[in-house]
Amino acid sequence: MNKILLVIQREYLSRVKKKSFLLMTFLVPVLFIGMIALVAFLTSRGGDEVTRIEVIDQSGIFADKFKDSRNVDFERAAATDLVQAKAAARKNDAFVLFIPANVVQEGNAELASEKKPPLVALNEVRSQMNEVLRNRMLADAGINPETLKSIDPEISITSKELTEEGEQDTNTGALYGISFASAILIYICLFVYGAQVMRGVIEEKTSRIVEVIISSVKPFQLMLGKIIGIGLVGITQFLLWIILSTTLASLAGQQLLGDRIESLKNMDPEQMEQINKNAGNAPEVTALLQGMENVPIAYIVTVFLIYFLGGYLLYSALFAAVGSAVDNETETQQFMLPITLPLLFTYIMAFSFIANNPNSTLSFWLSIIPFTSPIAMMVRLPFGVPDWELALSIALLVVGFIFTTWVAARIYRVGILMYGKKANYKELMKWFLYKA
Amino acid sequence: MLAVKNIVKQYANHRALDDVSLEVATGSIFGLLGPNGAGKTSLIRIINQITGPDEGTVLFDGEVLNPSHINRIGYLPEERGLYKKMEIGDQMLYLAQLKGLSRKEARERCKYWFEKMEMQTWWKKKVEDLSKGMQQKVQFVATVIHQPELIILDEPFSGFDPVNAEIIKEEILELNRQGATIIFSTHRMESVEQLCDSIALINKSRKILDGKVKDIRNSYRSQTYCIEYSGDTELGFNPVFDILQHQRSEDGQQLRLKLKDGKTVNDALAMLIPMVSIQSLTEVIPTIHEIFIEKVKGINHE
């Protein structure tokens, strides 16, 4: 037991001390935050491209009612019919909006141009035309648009989950986001850390130190020590990332949002209402923020850590067995398929099928079978998974990694002493069957 | 110290060890000899508990071999290796602790050996920054750092340059004088013949010969002598010896002779002294290598 601890210690320290580990630990959160900031910045700047649209209004309803927006400038066209306008448009590289006289009956106008119009411009034109038409129709029906606006009801729906503790606000959006992100993270990490285990085994084998080591410790102890040591490296990295990211994010948040939140807090209800009215989507934003508060972060993080660890132990044992069977990394490919396939399959299934049918029989089984459950269960989680299913899945995952570790250890103990022998699946089977 | 009894090791297609038994006395230097592929490494791996035998037992100090013995054995495998990217000092401490030393003991032992082998400046270096010869010194220190009672060296001198080989040899002999039992395993029999007290010859998975080097060679004495002399005389058939070979050279003449039954080398000298002037006399005893060749030939002819 003492020897396993020594192996764990070495595997852990030798990796954590590396410069690349420090670099990854600090760089990833910075890059992550930087990327979010960049995306936010670019989106807020928006497309600053302005589309000029020349309007030919044969109906006479719209011409003066178009308002220039941030992305679209409206102009009255010089031409009066479509043929002329099209010719001019071709020459000037402009967009021509042709509104026929019978637009109200037809419900159709035409935007002609050399190239495809930007989606923003298209939406702008459509919404402005609809607005104008609606007002006109309301007027025709004898309804004052102002009256209508004042009686516009606004209902937002808060989903309440009925649990034993009572009613609880949930926000599925935030929950989905976090769970899906966890599933992707597990998928990536299983490969990243599994490959580290494999490379570690190959390193020991090619540098020939393995025979020195296993004259002191049992192969099983060496394998397990390596797997646990690298697993701890992974967990350390996660924790550091979480701490660093939240620190960075809260620092940045204070800088950007601090003042605004303060002023929001000090506002009286009347003002609040006013603001809510002004900003059309405000209720949803507040709901989302409230939802974030109600996301059971601790629950998800716990489940995530359990499935990361379980999945990691399950797959890294197989990675170790592959590493023991080859002499260098290029030979690993032929054995990688059985490891890659179930993971890739679940990954694809997770976002194409499970997310849409979280409670189907197939989804259930995928989240129960140990080889697929780490990813599948994370995706099912936001839709509510009964405790017994979670317990069953985790119990099977434990059984699963004990099984793969056992299988892998039997291959490993023979494989690490086989130099220069090209292994194939038949060979592995033979190693597996050797008596201890 | 070590008793190997009727060991059988079967791999899928071939039998690596077939009913091999041998005994290694405490404090002795033992040579495990045989060509490549004879089964030496398989036997050593069994003694190191890296693999287990299919049949037979190994006794260590009278006890059936068990994991508690691991810390009392030092093993230098034929395939040497160290962690390339790990600092030498850390590596030594790690390997020493794996052999059951406490961190403090490991540190003291390391200090002792690094001074002794003049490698103090290497502590912070990485293996990949050392030359081959330096690496092997490090590897040797790793083998003996926990003061093992039994030291097993597989092809110990292969890859060493002559200077380092001599240093290592001296260290091994000193450890032996301090009480450690040494097992050499090698296919280069001449390299350890002078060092070993006892040997076992292994060929094609079977032990074909074992015993004290002196006894073995004595048993292969064939009353053959080599005499160098000057002076010219015609030696023909005589009642004392048969002539095996007669060479003339500028310095003198060399005669290989085999004594007839009941005659002693003194009889031969008595006969020769009046005729020629004797320069040297040596008994021709076959080397272990020659004995081995003869043995193997004999077996192959059977």
CATH number of the domain bearing residue A55: 3.40.190.10
Is there a contact between B83 and A214 if contact means CB atoms under 8 Å apart?
no
A127 and A224: one domain? no
Distance CA A146, CA A135 (A): 10
In Å, how far is B99's CA from the nearest CA of chain A?
A: 6
Residue A282, in any domain of the structure: yes
**Span A1-43, pLDDT tens digits:** 588 999 999 999 999 988 888 888 888 878 877 887 887 777 7
Is residue A270 scored above 60 in pLDDT?
Answer: no
Distance CA B88, CA B130 (A): 10
Is residue A274 scored above 70 in pLDDT?
Answer: no
Is A214's Cβ below 8 Å from some Cβ in B? yes
Q: How many residues does chain B have?
A: 302
Is there a contact between A209 and B50 if contact means CB atoms under 8 Å apart?
no
Residue A42, in any domain of the structure: no
Residue A264, in any domain of the structure: no
In Å, how far is A204's CA from the nearest CA of chain B?
A: 7
Structure tokens at A225: 């020590």
In Å, how far is B210's CA from the nearest CA of chain A?
A: 26
Cβ contacts of A301-305, under 8 Å, gap ≥ 24: A303/A377, A303/A378, A303/A381, A303/A390, A304/A182, A304/A185, A304/A186, A304/A378, A305/A235
A224 and A75: one domain? no
In Å, how far is A235's CA from the nearest CA of chain B?
A: 23
**Minimum mean pLDDT among A66-80, A329-343, B91-105: which range?**
A66-80
In Å, how far is A436's CA from the nearest CA of chain B?
A: 7
Q: What is the CB-side half-sphere exposure of residue B186 using CA atoms within 13 A? A: 22
CA distances to A64, A259, A268, B19, B157 from A265, rounded to whole Å, are 43, 10, 8, 89, 81
A194 and A139: one domain? no
Confidence bin at A282 (pLDDT 50/70/90): very low
Q: Single out the residue in A149, A181, A212 at which a domain terminates.
A: A149
Structure tokens at A278: 């002004």
Distance CA A272, CA A269 (A): 5
Confidence bin at A61 (pLDDT 50/70/90): confident
More confident residue, A432 or A286: A432
Residue A262, in any domain of the structure: no
Kind of pairing, strands B198-203 and A160-163? unpaired
Average pLDDT over residues A48-69: 77
Is residue A273 scored above 60 in pLDDT?
Answer: no
Is residue A275 scored above 70 in pLDDT?
Answer: no
Is there a contact between B98 and A430 if contact means CB atoms under 8 Å apart?
no
Is residue A311 scored above 80 in pLDDT?
Answer: yes
Distance CA A140, CA A154 (A): 25
pLDDT for res A257: 56
Is B70's Cβ below 8 Å from some Cβ in A? yes
pLDDT for res B52: 85
More confident residue, A255 or B244: B244
Distance CA A227, CA A194 (A): 9
Q: Kind and range of the H or E element at B243?
A: strand B241-248
- pLDDT < 50 stretches in chain B: none
Is residue A243 scored above 80 in pLDDT?
Answer: yes
Distance CA B60, CA B130 (A): 36
User: Which of A3, A203, A211 has the CB atom closest to B77's CB atom?
Assistant: A211
For chain A, what is the mean pLDDT? Answer: 80
Q: Which residues in chain A have their CB less than 8 angstroms from residue B84's CB? A: 203, 207
Residue A190, in any domain of the structure: yes
User: In terms of Cα–Cα distance, which of B290, B238, B280, B218 is closest to B255?
Assistant: B280
Distance CA B51, CA B60 (A): 16
Q: What domain range is A86 assigned to?
A: 51-149
Is there a contact between B77 and A216 if contact means CB atoms under 8 Å apart?
no
pLDDT for res A401: 93
A281 and A315: one domain? yes
pLDDT for res A407: 92
Is there a contact between B83 and A419 if contact means CB atoms under 8 Å apart?
no
Residue A302, in any domain of the structure: yes
Distance CA B72, CA B2 (A): 12
User: Which of B79, B85, B94 has the CB atom closest to A211's CB atom?
Assistant: B79
Residue A9, in any domain of the structure: no
A199 and A297: one domain? yes
**Minimum mean pLDDT among A80-89, A237-246, A274-283: which range?**
A274-283
A208 and A112: one domain? no
Q: Single out the residue in A115, A149, A183 at which a domain terminates.
A: A149
Average pLDDT over residues A214-242: 90
pLDDT for res B96: 92
pLDDT for res B158: 76
Report the domain count for chain A: 2
**Minimum mean pLDDT among A282-286, A349-353, B86-90: which range?**
A282-286
pLDDT for res A173: 67
Average pLDDT over residues A186-214: 90
Q: Single out the residue in A149, A181, A209 at which a domain terminates.
A: A149
Size of interface A-B (CB pairs under 8 A): 62
CA distances to A171, A308, A393, B280 from A404, rounded to whole Å, are 38, 16, 16, 73
A353 and A206: one domain? yes
Please tell me whether residue A419 adopts helix, strand or coil conformation: coil
User: Which of A7, A215, A417 has the CB atom closest to B75's CB atom?
Assistant: A215
* 3-state DSSP percent of chain A in helix, strand and coil, to 5: 70, 5, 25
A127 and A187: one domain? no
Is there a contact between B95 and A215 if contact means CB atoms under 8 Å apart?
no
Is there a contact between B75 and A212 if contact means CB atoms under 8 Å apart?
yes
Residue A265, in any domain of the structure: no
A143 and A177: one domain? no
All domains in chain B, ordered by first residue:
2-218 (3.40.50.300), 222-284 (no CATH)
User: Which of A7, A209, A216 has the CB atom closest to B83's CB atom?
Assistant: A209
Distance CA A380, CA A365 (A): 11
pLDDT for res A281: 46
Residues 6+ apart with CB under 8 A from A315: A190, A194, A339, A343, A404
More confident residue, B116 or A157: B116
**Minimum mean pLDDT among A224-238, A271-285, A374-388, B202-216: which range?**
A271-285
A100 and A140: one domain? yes
More confident residue, B286 or A319: A319
Q: Which residues in chain A have their CB less than 8 angstroms from residue B139's CB? A: 212
| DSSP conformation letters of A17-82 | TSHHHHHHHHHHHHHHHHHHHHHHHHHHH-----EEEEEEESSSSSTTT----SSEEEEE-S--SH
Please tell me whether residue B8 adopts helix, strand or coil conformation: strand
Is residue A175 scored above 80 in pLDDT?
Answer: no
Structure tokens at B56: 């037979």
CA B245 to chain centre: 32
Is residue A369 scored above 90 in pLDDT?
Answer: yes
Q: Indicate which of B10, B79, B102, B128 best probes the interface with A, i.e. most A CBs within 10 Å of its own CB.
A: B79
Is B179's Cβ below 8 Å from some Cβ in A? no
Please tell me whether residue B302 adopts helix, strand or coil conformation: coil
User: Which of B45, B83, B98 has the CB atom closest to A3's CB atom?
Assistant: B98
A360 and A230: one domain? yes
A362 and A213: one domain? yes
Is there a contact between B98 and A436 if contact means CB atoms under 8 Å apart?
no
pLDDT for res A350: 87
